[in-house]
Amino acid sequence: MLCEKIDLYQYCGLKRKGGEEGYLNVYIPEAPDYPTRVRPAMLVIGGGGYGFVSPREKECIALAYVAHGFAAFTLEYSVAPVRFPAQLIEGAMAMAYIRENAEKLAVKPDKIAAIGFSAGGHLTGMLATLFGRAEVKAALNEKAALARPDAVILSYPVISSGEKAHMGSFDNLCGDNDDLKKALSLEKCVNEKSSPAFIWATADDNGVPSENSLYMALAYKTVGVPFELHIFENGVHGLSLATVETGGINKPVQKWLELSVTWLYEHGFVLSD
């Protein structure tokens, strides 16, 4: 397997102001028997309330999608005290890197998805809905046109800064800027150009209320962009793959991975010889 770490700031010619992360880890199977295989890609964005990035939602997720025919990448993005827009710009840089290097990476340039968990789901949701923000265009210039994922998987995502908010995530991302918190309430940002979405959560999530997922699905329904929604009956927050390796077994919730892969396959995210 090809494994390497890319400095996204260096790649895009940007300088860090202090404390930023912005690294991309690459996981691409090497199959000498099938040298011409071209894969869809998955960018993995772990959660952690914008205060850290959970290791339980990074490499294990990438390898799970590799096993289903994807090239995979994990994003090490900035967390508090670094504020918005660094996180969105870093996600956009990751998408741009994958798309610009699609031929070298044997990746389909029009089949690049992103998956995010909890606050990482918020960052993934920003990529799906706010890829055209002025901050992205100012930082990346022509590369900004490469930032939109072709599909997203939102896993127990932080979405709303309203009544059902996980306010810790918004505080870490926005500081004391209440206007910015409102602007980044993603159910209000979905539009007809947003990336198609697969959304899942558990009904009794004790960390990020499942209403966040419901709000996002309703926003997608309203604008007519393809989506699929699954709310499992039981499960604590942060289940990841819901296996013993990722913190706790929950067999019903384990089905989300296969469901998401099936949905992606139906949208053309398939391995080609």
Task: Tell me what pLDDT residue 247 has.
Answer: 77
3-class DSSP state for residue 247?
Answer: coil
Domain ranges, ordered by start, for the chain: 2-266
Quick: pLDDT tens for 237-260: 999 999 998 878 999 999 999 999
Q: Which residues of the chain have pLDDT under 70?
A: 31-35
Farthest CA pair distance, the chain? 55
Name, in order, each residue with C-beta under 8 angstroms of 262's C-beta and a sequence gap of 6 or more: none
Q: Give the pair of three-digit tokens for residue 222.
A: 């309203």
Quick: pLDDT tens for 162-177: 999 999 999 999 999 9
Task: Tell me what pLDDT residue 35 has.
Answer: 64
CA angle, corner 56, sides to 55 and 61, nearest 5? 105
Task: Tell me what pLDDT residue 32 has.
Answer: 63
Is residue 215 within 8 Å of 189, Cβ to Cβ?
Answer: no
d(CA 53, CA 74): 11
Task: Tell me what pLDDT residue 55 has.
Answer: 96
Q: Which fold does the domain 2-266 belong to in CATH?
A: Rossmann fold (3.40.50)
Sheet strands side by side (includes 151-155) = 2-7, 23-28, 71-76, 39-45, 107-117, 151-155, 197-202, 227-232
Task: Tell me what pLDDT residue 100 has.
Answer: 98
Quick: pLDDT tens for 92-107: 999 999 999 999 999 9
Query: Where are the alpha helices (H) located in 101-237, listed in sequence order?
Result: 102-105, 119-129, 134-140, 167-174, 178-183, 211-223
